[in-house]
Amino acid sequence: MDRRTRYGFSAWWFTALLAALSAANPVLSGADLVRAVDSTLTSVSAALKGLFLPESLQAPSNRTSRCKVYPGDPEWPSDEAWAKLDELTDHRLLARPEPQAAVCYNGPLYDAEKCAQITATWNSSYTHYIDPIEMMSPVAQGMTCLPPNVFDSHNCTRGGFPMYVINATEPKHVQMGVNFARNTGVRLVVKNTGHDFLGKSGGKDSLSIWTHHFKDIDYIEDFVDETLGYSGPAFKAGVGVQAFEIYKAAHEYGHSVVGGEGETVGIFGGYIQGGGHSPLTSLYGTGADQVLAFEVVTADGEFVIANSTSNIDLFWAMRGGGGSTFGVATSVTVKAHPDMPTAVSRFSFTSEKIGNETFWAGIRAYVDYFIPNAEAGTYAYFLLVPNVYTGIFTFSMTPFFAPNKTLEETQALLQPWFARLNDLGIEFDPNITHFDNFYDAWRSSFPLETVEKINATTGSRLFPRTNFETEEKREELYHNIRQSSENNRVQVHFNIKAVDPDNADNAVNPAWRPNILFSQQAVRWPVNGTAQEILKIRQEFQAGDMQRWRDISPGAGGYLAEADRLEPNFGQAFWGDKYPRLVELKRKLDPHDVFFATTSVGSERWKVESVDGLPNENGKLCRVDL
């Protein structure tokens, strides 16, 4: 058998495809074929399914090798196979895209000037989301090929980056990628912006589907879904649409939508499938609660609509079940809400002049207002930052966000806490500004996100209402937050309530519903520590500071998109009692595990065997049960 035949390029599938198309198109050239596939996408998807199927019909599920297919394996697709994939994706296949900092390392790409450029802009999220492979968590990527002054890896290797990327702009391109990966056994990843804290948009030597260029936004004035009980305006957005784009579009139509705080977060990819919290969550619920329909390429290569009446299991699972698990979405239709006036306030204070006890008394006072503030529909995003060198703690409100509130209402909400801060002698400048719309308030309030640190990782916890209902519980929570600061954890907190106005039946982590404080803390380690040292610090963080947080919130959870790859028992933490159903649906909807992401539903069956033993993408993806 020659390679071409063996890897699926014998004439049979091509004949089958032509046969499937021939009724409508008796004579087809290669270019016609592409167009024909476009215009009759759903009807030919059965034929597309056969594409790249090796003659042996070896589905990944009964392949004898333990790992996905990698370069050097006899099953690794031939150059001709990749060339065919390129042709079938309208020549949108990028072969071996280089990490951006390759220009900083010895080799053919070395260029001092370009290196200086990339170094200067490295920490900006723009540098990463416009790139086919870069991700914003260098730790999860595997720390290869960063600018040397950020981290000198000595050599620029591909590390946790994909080998091939489909720069997809149409569902057909996604179908080709899914089929290719399923039938060759090559690891598949999906990258949108690369924001995911756990680095779930990467994978060593994989085939990546890059969704960034699905950018259409359509306004639907009156979307009616009787099953969901929704009648009103909606936006249908391509999955590459980012926060700054959808907020602007919504504003132009006199609306707002539920999306993240970060300017460049992808709202219709990992964010919305993973749940997604928002400055509007205390009013309207999570991102996933807004979804009216998805267009999806499924694991078997079909292009389908998942909505309240069509593919209802898929629709249920993709609203909260997490990205890269059940299918690749190409568009999402979401509810649009009225635009509204919004008040915001940013302020900060430190322990420098007032000392530790006064500083912490100010924080303790704030804890008393978490329930009423969330109940009032507001969102507070605040940081607690320790400085290990100076012993000074900093509190930053960045911002307090009060949608649909007047200046007076916002002042009245904050006044009781401010009065106590004044009594304590804590000086701060509570500049409250009122905007007549959501978009301007959002733009003025949130800092542009930066790339994550090279020696830190974040764990998260959704603290429910019960942690705040009594003086004793508030005291306990406060002590545990303070303890984390004293243990040098940088903390990020969101005082929000994920309301569920429509009693949505979806896969959103049930721990969001009673949430009052969504909290993150980061562990840091010496940059030059050995892998063993780093792993030990990270495990101690999970067993120590994170376990303390879990211990005081039994049965609660964490947030899957802002979490630590070492979160124990992640199924319970990220999906609670919905996890068993999700696992069942994963088996049904993706029986060959075409899709995988670390800590995703069903991912227990697989593990990235990283070269340094740390939890990152720089290694082969292999089964744990073989």
What residues are paired with 345 via a beta bridge?
Answer: 400, 432
200 lies in the site for ligand FAD, by CB under 6 A: yes
Phi/psi for 82 (5° steps) reads -65, -35
Segment near ligand NAG (CB under 6 A); pick from 34-42, 192-200, 409-417, 521-529: 521-529
Stretch that binds ligand FAD, among 48-56, 192-200, 461-469, 480-488 (CB under 6 A): 192-200
Q: Which residue has the tokens 């301007």?
A: 440
Nearest alpha-carbon partner for 446 in 484, 406, 482, 492: 492
Does position 283 interact with ligand FAD (CB under 6 A)? The reply is no
Question: Stretches 269-277, 350-358, 433-441, 614-622: which one binds ligand FAD (CB under 6 A)?
Answer: 269-277
Neighbours of 195 (CB within 10 A): 27
Interaction of residue 449 with ligand FAD, rule CB under 6 A: yes
CA distance 363 to 557: 24
SS3 21: helix
H helical segments located in 41-111: 41-50, 79-88
Within residues 212-231, the interface with ligand NAG by CB under 6 A covers: 213, 225
Residue the block writes with tokens 């916002």: 410
Among 102, 190, 306, 397, binds ligand FAD (CB under 6 A): 190
Which residues make Cβ contacts (< 8 Å) with residue 364, sequence separation at least 6? 474, 475, 478
Q: Site mask, ligand FAD, residues 39-58, x = CB under 6 A?
A: --------------------
Segment near ligand FAD (CB under 6 A); pick from 92-100, 184-192, 565-573, 574-582: 184-192
Q: Which stretch binds ligand FAD (CB under 6 A): 321-329, 336-344, 460-468, 481-489?
A: 321-329
Beta bridge partner(s), residue 235:
219, 334
**Helix pair angle (30-39, 171-184), 10° resolution:** 110
Task: Please report whether residue 290 would count as binding ligand FAD according to CB under 6 A.
Answer: no
Selected from 262, 576, 602, 619, the binder of ligand FAD by CB under 6 A is 262
Candidate residues 169, 183, 290, 378; the one interacting with ligand NAG per rule CB under 6 A: 169
Q: Which residue is nearest to ligand NAG (CB)?
A: 391
Which residues on neighbouring strands pair with residue 524, listed in sequence order? 456
Joined together, the tokens standing for residue 274 give 């993973």
Instruction: Give Cα 254 distance to the centre of its chain.
Output: 28
Q: Which of 169, 211, 311, 445 binds ligand FAD (CB under 6 A)?
A: 211
120 binding ligand NAG? (CB under 6 A) = yes
Q: Binding to ligand NAG by residue 486, rule CB under 6 A?
A: yes
Question: What one-character-per-residue DSSP string does 586-608 give?
Answer: HHHH-TT-----TTSTTGGGEEE
Tell me which stretch binds ligand FAD (CB under 6 A): 13-21, 36-44, 193-201, 220-228.
193-201
The reply on whether position 387 binds ligand NAG by CB under 6 A is: no
Interaction of residue 56 with ligand NAG, rule CB under 6 A? yes
- Distant-in-sequence, close-in-space partners of 336: CB < 8 Å, separation ≥ 6: 219, 232, 233, 234, 235, 250, 253, 255, 256, 257
**Cβ burial 453-484 (10 Å sphere, 16+ → b, else e):** bebebbbbbbbbbebbeeeebbeebbebbbeb
Q: Which two tokens stand for residue 490?
A: 């940088």
Binder of ligand FAD out of 162, 323, 557, 619 (CB under 6 A) = 323
Please select the residue that binds ligand FAD; options are 270, 285, 320, 459, rule is CB under 6 A. Answer: 270
Among 42, 309, 415, 422, indicate the residue that binds ligand NAG (CB under 6 A). 309
Nearer to ligand NAG, 169 or 509 (CB): 169
Q: Kindly state the smallest distance separating residue 571's Cβ from ligand NAG, in Å.
A: 28
Separation in Å, CA 395 to CA 32, 133, 288: 62, 35, 31
190 binds, among ligand FAD, ligand NAG, none (CB under 5 to 8 A by kind): ligand FAD
Size of the site for ligand NAG (CB under 6 A): 37
Q: Given the complex with ligand NAG, which of 420 and 524 has the nearer CB atom?
A: 524
Helix (H) or strand (E) holding 249: helix 243-252
Cβ closer to ligand FAD: 18 or 94? 94
Residue 265 binds ligand FAD (CB under 6 A): yes
Residue 283, judged by CB atoms within 10 A of its CB (0-12, 13-18, 19+), counts as buried
Name the H helices within 386-462. 407-424, 438-445
Task: Give the interface segment with ligand NAG, choosing from 51-59, 71-79, 503-511, 566-574 (CB under 6 A).
Answer: 51-59
Residue 7 or 381 with smaller CB distance to ligand FAD: 381
Q: If binding is defined by CB under 6 A, does position 15 make contact with ligand NAG?
A: no
| Structure tokens, 219 | 């306004």
Residues 595 to 614 in contact with ligand FAD, rule: CB under 6 A: 597
CB 283 within 8 A of CB 379: no
Q: Does the footprint of ligand NAG cover residue 487 (CB under 6 A)?
A: no
Among 526, 555, 568, 613, interactor with ligand NAG by CB under 6 A: 526
Q: Are 568 and 604 in contact (CB under 8 A)?
A: no
155 binds ligand NAG (CB under 6 A): yes
Longest dimension (CA), the chain: 84
Q: Which of 260, 301, 321, 602 binds ligand FAD (CB under 6 A)?
A: 260
Residues 419-438 binding ligand NAG (CB under 6 A) are 431, 433
412 is a contact residue toward ligand NAG (CB under 6 A): no
Query: Where along the sequence are the contacts to ligand NAG (CB under 6 A)?
Result: 56-59, 62, 94, 120, 123, 132, 154-155, 167, 169, 213, 225, 283, 305, 307, 309-310, 340, 355-356, 377, 391, 404, 431, 433, 444, 450, 455, 486, 524-528
